[in-house]
Each structure stands twice: as structure tokens, then as C-alpha cells.
Amino acid sequence: MSIGEEALEMLRETSRTFFIPISRLPVGLQDAVMSGYLCLRAIDEVEDHPMLDNHTKAMLLHAISRTLQTNFDADDFTTALGSYQQDLEEVTLRIYDWTMLAPPDIAPRVWETTAAMAARMAQWAESDWVVQTEADLDRYTFGVAGAVGLLLSDLWGWYNGTQTDRVQAVGFGRGLQAVNILRNHSEDVARGVDFFPAGWGTEEMQAYARRNLTLADAYTRALPSGPVRDFCTIPLALAYATLDALARGENKLSRRDVLQIVSQYTAE
């Protein structure tokens, strides 16, 4: 099995939202987007790890960030993860493989985003993820998701010259992250993290998510027909459906609902 095939299999195991839209991207662009997704998933698994304390998370995230800023090889990541390798998920342990997926002329952009995000995640771990105000929430959602929107815009431009509104790109990432925060709120609180600003409930967070998804709508509508727009349409549709399900008191979309929504946008 090639590294690309292994990456697709890892993608299948780690994301029901992005597996299908990424798997439908054309050659070259698929490798670049998959590299970005799996690199960011690798550090996300460190941030959310249930068994690591915040100090350890920050140390590992800083180490990954510093490594990505060097002329790294596989051994450098082995050193960065050190004695914690036995505690980490495979997607994290194989981060070097994911960095090598993207075509060489765009790979450094993926590395830059991953390094910057890992550093921001480390800072949030050091501050115990304290979110008191909407500005705090904006900083968090930009750091871990809005920046992803900017990366995707750069990948579209690299692939075929597609130009996008970068404020809307931030809204795209930020809106999807706000939906994740709503969906995972109970689990986050149970592990001692609350991304809701002081005084906010689900109504305020729903409104925040929908404001940003309005930007995501504009971002997606402005894209030319083709694989890039198709890629953005599916997670956006799933985000709206998830908000509606949560508003009805459901915990998340059922697998049946997910497949039904995806089928609407993938029918030939």
C-alpha cells in the first residue's frame, strides 16, 4: 500500500466529515489537502488527548512546532515525541509521513500552518483554555480553524489560480469549529474545558456559529463550479444540519443523516 493509500485509510478512520470530499479531489490537490488535514489532525489529537496533562501537551506541541520550522526528517519527530510515543495515536506518530504527502512546491505552506497552529495550541494548553469573552473565543477559533480556511484558500490558488475572499475563508473555518464546540460541549466540560464565553449558553453559541457560517456560505457560493466548491459544500451542509439537530435536542447527526446529506452532493 502506498503512502497515499495509507493516508486515505487514515482519513477514513479519523473523519466522517472530510473523507468523502477529500477523496473526490483531483490528483495533486487531493495530496495537498490530505497532507494538511492529517498534519492538523495529528496535533489536534495531542491537544484533545484525555491522558496527557496540559504541561505535557504544551511541551509536545511546542516540540512539533519547532521541528516543522527546521530541515526535518523522520528521526526529528521521533525525538520531538520522545517517551510519549506509546501514549499517542497513530495519526500523530506518523506526522512525518503526512508532511511528505503534499507536492513539494506547496508542502512548506502546509508545514507553516501546522507549526503555527501547534504553537497556538500549546499556548492555550499553558493557559488551561480559559475563554472568558467573545474575543477569546474568536482568538481560539481563528487559531485552530480560521487559519485552516486561509490554508485552503492558498491551496485552491496554488492548484488552479482560484482567488477567494480571505475574511470569508476565516469565517468558513471558524464556523465549522463553532459547530464542533457546540457538539462536543458536554465532553469538553467533563474534561475541564469550556469554550463558551462567560454567560453564554447554547443559544449564544448557536448564533455565533450561524454568523460565521453566513460568511462560509458566501465563500462557497463565490467558488467556481468544480472540485473545490464540491469540497466546501459537504462540510458546510453537515455543519448546518448539525446545528439544526442540536437545536432539536439531539446529540449529533446520525450516521444515516450524514450519509443522506453527503449523497445529495455526490450523486453523479
Q: CA 230, 117, 187 angle in degrees (round to 5)?
A: 80
Classify residue 149 by burial, with Cβ atoms within 10 Å: 0-12, 13-18, 19+.
buried
Domain boundaries, the chain: 1-127, 129-268
CATH ID of 129-268, from 1.10.10.10, 3.60.21.10, 1.10.8.60, 1.10.600.10: 1.10.600.10
Instruction: Provide the 3-class DSSP secondary structure of residue 197.
Output: coil
pLDDT score, position 267: 61
Is the CATH code 3.40.50.150 the one for domain 1-127?
Answer: no
Matching fold, domains 1-127 and 129-268: yes
Q: What is the DSSP string of 207-261?
A: HHHHHHHHHHHHHHHTSPTTHHHHHHHHHHHHHHHHHHHHHTT-SS--HHHHHHH
CB-facing half-sphere around the CA of 258: CA atoms within 13 A? 13
188: burial class by Cβ within 10 Å (0-12, 13-18, 19+)?
middle
Give tens-digit pLDDT for 247-260: 998 888 887 888 78
pLDDT score of 152 more than 60: yes
pLDDT digits (tens, 9 = 90+) for 196-222: 999 999 999 999 999 999 999 999 999
